[in-house]
Structure 1
Amino acid sequence: MNGHRESRQLKPGINVPMVTIFKENEDVDVEAVAKHAVRLVKAGLTSITCQGSNGEAVHLTKEERILVTSTVRKAIDEAGFSDVPIVVGCAAQSVRETVEFCRDAHKAGGDYALVLPPSYYKAAYKPENFVEYFQDVADDSPIPILIYNYPGAVAGVDLDSDTIIKLAKHPNIRGCKLTCGNTGKLNRIAHAVKAATPSDRGSGWMCMGGSADFTIQTLIAGGSGIITGLGNVVPKACVKVFNLYAEGKIDEAQKVQAIVARGDWGVIAGGITGTKAALESYYGYGGYARRPLPKPSKDDVARYEAMLKEVVDFENSL
């Protein structure tokens, strides 16, 4: 390994993969990105993600990725949150380009790299190739790696618990995000690696769920928290579920979890388009995703508003 630095420490809690906001001409809206990042960290996040799936990483150029990360780092530092780590989506199809993205993230102020498995040549890969990919990236990345297991985004590639537990032994692989929704897998990994939890720092390894609708399930299973797209719209509500559980207020946590889960279905159904539409409807910013993602119709917007109204009302009560 070469050039690794000690990153800001990840702590159990809620992380939001923030949307990237564009102007009408599809240029990155730097001012809006900064404003959104500050709103999120003020809600009590323990870390924040740039260039996740919600951030339209696949729609950004190399230069734009650097711009977004550096903008977020500067904005949250100036707002008094210089201790909050930034996780940066760095996945590419080759080891070489993924490492390059990791180096860019490092230079732009990122602390951790969120990395998907390669999938374009899926038919040519054997199970050991995925292990080698993550190990090779981790060897050369200047920042620690979080494994991103999201079968829906990578042609169905679904890393099993044995693979992730094996990869956790690498000193520069510090966690995972499981958007597969498999709490059994999460439980096996969390206990094998002695993951950090709200009550016990354990090994410090972060075993994160990938959706706000199973926050409590993740924590009960021994996980570290959630990286949730819903948090773009209602970050305080997502943090509330985590905090209530951490305080031992399980009955209250369950009630809030139900509200959050109903709201999460709105952004799961609407994807990035629905998330941005809800931001625009309720907070006056968000805009549209980059083409070829569609713009929502008036009926779509009304549907997303209705699906998220309950959780937004709860957010605004906090």
Structure 2
Amino acid sequence: MAGMAEQSRPMRSNKNMTRELCSPSDTTPTPPCRPNQTDPLPPGIWAPTQVFFTPCTTKIDLPTTAAHAIRLARAGITGIVTNGSNGEAAHLTPAERAAVARATRTALDSAGFAHVPVLAGASDASLSGTVALAREAREAGAAAVLVLCPSAFGWAMRERGVVVGFYKGVVEGCGGSEGGLPVVVYNYPAAAGGLDLDSDLLERLAEVGVRGVKFTCGNVGKLARVASLTAGRDGGGFRCFSGVADAIVPALAVGGHGGIVGAANVFPRACVQVYKLFEEGKWEEARIAQQRLARADWAMTKRAIPGFKSVLQKYHGYGGIPRLPVLPLSEEEEGKLFAEIEEMMRVEAELEDFGRPSH
């Protein structure tokens, strides 16, 4: 399929399957809509948060997970994303995912950050499973859901009509494009078997009701095209977020709406500062801040989830280890990481919190 990574196994067109994809409501009840915010996807810097586990048992540590979200809200993060790849969603049960989203929403409300929305990951290998996770996320208080293109059978996704039918089915299963739970496409080839949705296909997904895209593909040109093609859609409410911290300024410069970036877990103030400097028209300061952030972000990206947890453990006293089969960093690798981010952690510590409670 043009614009998507080639798979080794071909597939013939199946019109009956496509019709099933487009009609999930035949078997899946539509949940009621109860969004938390007037704008469920406000522009800004969002943090796809880690999930934390108790020592030895690796059961979810909900108090720590909730406290982490509050710390980020105080730092100035626009929204919290739960149950994404950064949150080890692939290693969580549906009940655990719902518990994480609910604990995050409850904690933000209790701390005075009811205005900070929760975007919950609802990715599953099937349409019915995705809609079920979305329904549970809504009941847990999520204002929108983030959905990765299924890849367990990557060869099945080579047909553009199948991809469109899948996302159309998710939108309909979430209550439809008018008044339903907003659906954001998570374009992350590394987590989707190499599937990389191109700008033509993403525009088509906007036409069937998705409300935004997280570009973890890192392709700023693609983001620019989609932002241009969707600028007036939904009253200007269609969102194009950078999925990598080293492209916040480039994304904003071509019409993007901020970023959903893992670096915001460890450098939340620095990420928000980059966004604010650009929005205030301080171009040179924004450029310098973005370059500095890009260097530190690469140090984190190379170590992925174990690196984030090591940094949080060192600087904030929590973090712990991932669930198997993901392993924690070795002491040697931790030492290299801490040295590479030392400058950025000093910058982060010197910045003041940007977030303010709503009451």
- Relative to the length of structure 2, the TM-score reads 0.85
- Separation in structure 2 between the aligned mates of residue 5 and residue 81 of structure 1, nearest angstrom: 18
Partner of 2:12: none
State which of 81, 86, 97 in structure 1 corresponds to 2:129: 97
Partner of 1:120: 152
Distance apart, 1:5 and its partner CA? 3.9
- Relative to the length of structure 1, the TM-score reads 0.95
One-letter identity of the residue aligned with 1:235? P
- Separation in structure 2 between the aligned mates of residue 308 and residue 202 of structure 1, nearest angstrom: 40
Partner of 1:134: 167
Distance apart, 1:266 and its partner CA? 1.3
Distance apart, 1:40 and its partner CA? 0.5
Matched, 1:52 2:52: no
Matched, 1:83 2:115: yes
Secondary structure of the corresponding residue to residue 168 of structure 1: helix
Q: Does structure 2 retain, via aligned residues, the 8 Å contact 1:135–1:167?
A: yes
Q: CA RMSD in A?
A: 1.5
- Separation in structure 1 between the aligned mates of residue 174 and residue 336 of structure 2, nearest angstrom: 43
Matched, 1:35 2:67: yes
Partner of 1:18: 49
- Separation in structure 2 between the aligned mates of residue 7 and residue 167 of structure 1, nearest angstrom: 24
One-letter identity of the residue aligned with 1:178? F
State which of 181, 190, 197 in structure 2 corresponds to 1:159: 197
State which of 342, 347, 351 in structure 2 corresponds to 1:309: 342
Matched, 1:178 2:215: yes
Q: Does structure 2 retain, via aligned residues, the 8 Å contact 1:176–1:206?
A: yes
Q: How does 1:213-228 map to 2 (within 5 A)?
A: 213-228=246-261
Partner of 2:98: 66
Change (3 A) 1:233 1:118: same
Identity %: 40
State which of 284, 293, 310 in structure 2 corresponds to 1:260: 293
One-letter identity of the residue aligned with 1:131? V
- Separation in structure 2 between the aligned mates of residue 6 and residue 289 of structure 1, nearest angstrom: 31
Change (3 A) 1:6 1:26: closer
CA displacement, residues 2-49 of structure 1 (integer Å, 9 cap, x when unaligned): 434445212110000000011112011111111100001111111110
CA displacement, residues 264-304 of structure 1 (integer Å, 9 cap, x when unaligned): 01111000011111111111111111111012111011111
Secondary structure of the corresponding residue to residue 290 of structure 2: helix
Q: Does structure 2 retain, via aligned residues, the 8 Å contact 1:119–1:155?
A: yes
Matched, 1:144 2:176: no
Aligned residue-pair number: 313
Max radius of gyration: which structure?
2
Partner of 2:282: 249
- Separation in structure 2 between the aligned mates of residue 206 and residue 244 of structure 1, nearest angstrom: 20
Secondary structure of the corresponding residue to residue 146 of structure 2: strand
Gaps of 5+ in 2: 1-24, 176-180, 352-359
- Separation in structure 1 between the aligned mates of residue 258 and residue 232 of structure 2, nearest angstrom: 10
Distance apart, 1:183 and its partner CA? 0.6
Q: Does structure 2 retain, via aligned residues, the 8 Å contact 1:195–1:223?
A: no
Change (3 A) 1:58 1:264: same
Gaps of 5+ in 1: none
One-letter identity of the residue aligned with 2:83? Q
Q: Which runs of 4+ in 1 moved over 3 A?
A: 1-7
Secondary structure of the corresponding residue to residue 303 of structure 2: helix
CA displacement, residues 73-126 of structure 1 (integer Å, 9 cap, x when unaligned): 010001111111100010101110000000000000111110001111111331
- Separation in structure 2 between the aligned mates of residue 63 and residue 95 of structure 1, nearest angstrom: 18
The higher-RCO structure (CA 8 Å, 6+ apart) is 2
- Separation in structure 2 between the aligned mates of residue 278 and residue 303 of structure 1, nearest angstrom: 11
Distance apart, 1:202 and its partner CA? 6.0
> Relative to structure 2, which stretch is displaced further, 124-133 or 12-21?
124-133
